[in-house]
């Protein structure tokens, strides 16, 4: 079977955590983390919320926030603005969970898209969903579609587009997406390009939930190996990714991680000194 690890994840979500779901999502809340409003909810709640939004044909801008996203947002005001205009910001990765704990407002659930999106597609109601795949190198989205169809035969994939089209092709790409009328558009162009793309174009894609999913297509196409479950469990997926693609990712996971720790340390220090501007809202 194509994605045994997602089945395992989905089973865990559907059994133990499904019991925690309340219809009103009363346990979920928003936590300010380094000036970004992140959703605090279980994986099961996040899947339910995404599914409901898609099936109600709500337009939306949904992004996953990891350490790399936070560091990039501190350097690029336009990207930070795009993040704060999102409909949902979902915490992604051990760095954000660890940082939130240190800053006294812990986020317990890692809602990374690489687990969440396949788990969403595995839900019973997902057979009503139509999906459009935008991003990654030419040929990758086709491989993703084939693998997804194998794993989730009822899922409807209504269009594909690689992420390296020319700027003058953008209107044609948007038109193709609008005509396909997907419930959900997965945009896999990496941070910050995908969030900026969604921020700019979501208004022209009514009734479509747009989700930035980073390297998800490379994983689903099996072009890049995902970290084994044990490595993910101990919070070292970033180290795995660094070892798999050192040339592309060395800066992000060495310098970037240090900058991220510096941001946490600075906020932590300000909190200790009880400076008014540093208090979490």
List of residues contacting ligand UDP (CB under 6 A): 135-137, 163-164, 188-191, 193, 214-215, 217-218
Min. distance of Cβ 171 from ligand UDP in angstroms? 18
CB of 280 to ligand UDP, least distance (A): 26
For ligand UDP, the closer CB: 135 or 159: 135
Give which of 184, 137, 136 is closest to 156, Cα–Cα.
Answer: 184
Helix, strand, coil fractions of the chain, as percent rounded to 5: 55, 15, 30
Least separation in angstroms between CB 214 and ligand UDP: 2
**Of 279, 276, 223, nearest to 248 (Cα)?**
223
Query: CA torsion angle for 231, 233, 235, 241 (degrees, to 10)?
Result: 40
Q: Please report how close the Cβ of residue 14 comes to ligand UDP at its closest, in angstroms.
A: 26
Distance CA 161, CA 142 (A): 9
**Smallest distance, Å, CB 272 to ligand UDP?**
32
CB 109 within 8 Å of CB 91: yes
Radius of gyration of the chain (CA): 18
> Three-state DSSP class for 36?
strand
Query: From the CB of residue 247, how many other CB atoms can be counted at a distance below 10 Å?
Result: 6
Q: Measured from the CB atom, is 67 or 126 closer to ligand UDP?
A: 67
Question: Which of 48/252 has CB closer to ligand UDP?
Answer: 252
Pick from 33, 55, 219: nearest CA to 129: 55
Between residues 46 and 136, which has the closer beta carbon with respect to ligand UDP? Answer: 136
Closer residue to ligand UDP, CB minimum distance, 95 or 163: 163
Nearer to ligand UDP, 42 or 69 (CB): 69
Q: CB of 191: closest distance to ligand UDP in angstroms? A: 4
């Amino acid at each position: 079977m194509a994605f045994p690890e997602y089945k395992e994840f989905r089973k865990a979500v559907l059994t133990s955590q499904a019991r925690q779901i309340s219809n009103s999502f009363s346990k979920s809340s928003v936590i300010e983390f380094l000036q970004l409003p992140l959703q605090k909810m279980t994986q099961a709640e996040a899947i339910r919320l995404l599914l409901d939004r898609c099936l109600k044909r709500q337009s939306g801008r949904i992004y996953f926030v990891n350490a790399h996203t936070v560091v990039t947002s501190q350097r690029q005001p336009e990207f930070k603005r795009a993040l704060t205009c999102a409909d949902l910001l979902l915490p992604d990765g051990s760095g954000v969970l660890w940082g939130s704990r240190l800053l006294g407002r812990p986020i317990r659930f890692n809602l990374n898209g690489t687990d969440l999106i396949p788990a969403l597609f595995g839900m019973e109601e997902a057979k009503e969903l139509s999906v459009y795949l935008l991003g990654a190198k030419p040929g990758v989205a086709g491989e993703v579609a084939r693998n997804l169809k194998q794993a989730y035969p009822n899922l409807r994939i209504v269009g594909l587009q690689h992420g390296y089209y020319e700027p003058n092709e953008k209107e044609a790409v948007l038109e193709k997406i609008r005509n396909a009328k997907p419930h959900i558009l997965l945009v896999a162009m990496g941070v910050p390009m995908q969030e900026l793309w969604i921020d700019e174009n979501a208004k022209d894609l009514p009734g479509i939930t747009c989700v930035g999913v980073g390297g998800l297509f490379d994983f689903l196409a099996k072009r890049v190996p995902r970290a084994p479950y044990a490595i993910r469990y101990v919070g070292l997926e970033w180290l795995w990714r660094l070892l798999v693609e050192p040339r592309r990712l060395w800066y992000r996971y060495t310098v970037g991680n240090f900058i991220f720790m510096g941001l946490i340390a600075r906020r932590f220090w300000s909190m200790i000194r009880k400076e008014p501007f540093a208090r979490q809202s």
